[in-house]
Amino acid sequence: MAIDILRRKATSRELEPKAVGELDVSVFSCPSCARPLVEGARRCPGCRTRLVMGIQLGRAALFMALGVSVGTLIGGTGVALTLQGQLSTAQLAADVVPGAGQGAAAAPITEPVGPAPAATVAAPAASAAPPATGIPPAAVWSLGQTAEINARIVGVTPVLASAIGAKDVDTAAVASALRAVVADTASGADLSSRLGAWPAASGLAADFGKFYAAVRAAALTGLAASMSNDAAYRSAAASMLGILGSVSALDARSRVLAQSAGVTLVPVAVPFATDAAGPSGPGSEPLP
């Protein structure tokens, strides 16, 4: 028991705060009166100054306030820069996207969507000179496009001709050619209406409209038959070849107008002669 009492006294003695001058004690001076103080002292016994980690309480508070202010300033600046960068990016996207298509002009469709015909006529692209004064540019452009449409339409004539003389009609090939013709006539009808804006070409535009309507009707009549009906497709091919016989006369009238407008048309030629006169028959177009 005596030993326990001695141990408790030694332990309590070690826990007591050490005085200035003892070993292993860190000493600092009071920032107000320069009195030596033990590290950890919260108040100077001489001038009664309150201390925080060896610094006068007022200065410690000042340093803390300054640190908070600097931290707030730096953080606010960083947030402002981030928001400014995001706003600049959003503004740039808003400026670029709406103007992306301003420089592109809507161009009419000249190539119809649909399966390619079994046989086509290779033709160089039409070259156009500046039209004469007073001629609508859209009408001159439509005149050149009708020549390309007509060249594609007459390009199916070899397939149709082979169906007439064949014992077993290739109905799939004939049907593909008729579908391509239907697609081309849709574009041709639109071009005819634009060509009519030129007074000198109004008659030709009307005849083109009749021609494309007749070709479309004949093609749709053939396509309505069953693929196993060889006679129906043979009849449709013969009817279509008869209508295509009017292309030569219409093309001749187109070239007279094209020459007056300074436009060069692609060649359009039916691979063989037919006896049909077509919806309008041969005729001439007055010059402007």
Q: What is the C-alpha separation between 255 and 126, in angstroms, rounded?
A: 12
* Per-residue pLDDT at 4: 59
Domain extent listing, the chain: 25-83, 137-261
Q: Quote the CA–CA distance of 209 and 60 in Å, as a whole number.
A: 96
Cα(123)–Cα(126) distance, rounded to whole angstroms?
9
User: How far apart, in Å, are the Cα atoms of 196 and each of 63, 153, 173, 201?
Assistant: 89, 21, 35, 6
What's the Cα-to-Cα distance from 165 to each of 170, 227, 230, 237, 238, rounded to whole Å? 11, 18, 12, 11, 10
The size of the chain, in residues, is 288
pLDDT at site 190: 94
CA distance 178 to 190: 19
Tell me how far apart the alpha carbons of residues 252 and 259 are, in angstroms, rounded to a whole number: 11
Q: Output the pLDDT for position 60.
A: 65
Type of residue at 238: A
CA distance 76 to 62: 21
pLDDT along the chain (288 residues), means of 10: 54 48 60 72 75 66 75 76 68 48 42 43 45 77 94 93 88 94 94 93 94 95 93 93 92 93 88 45 36
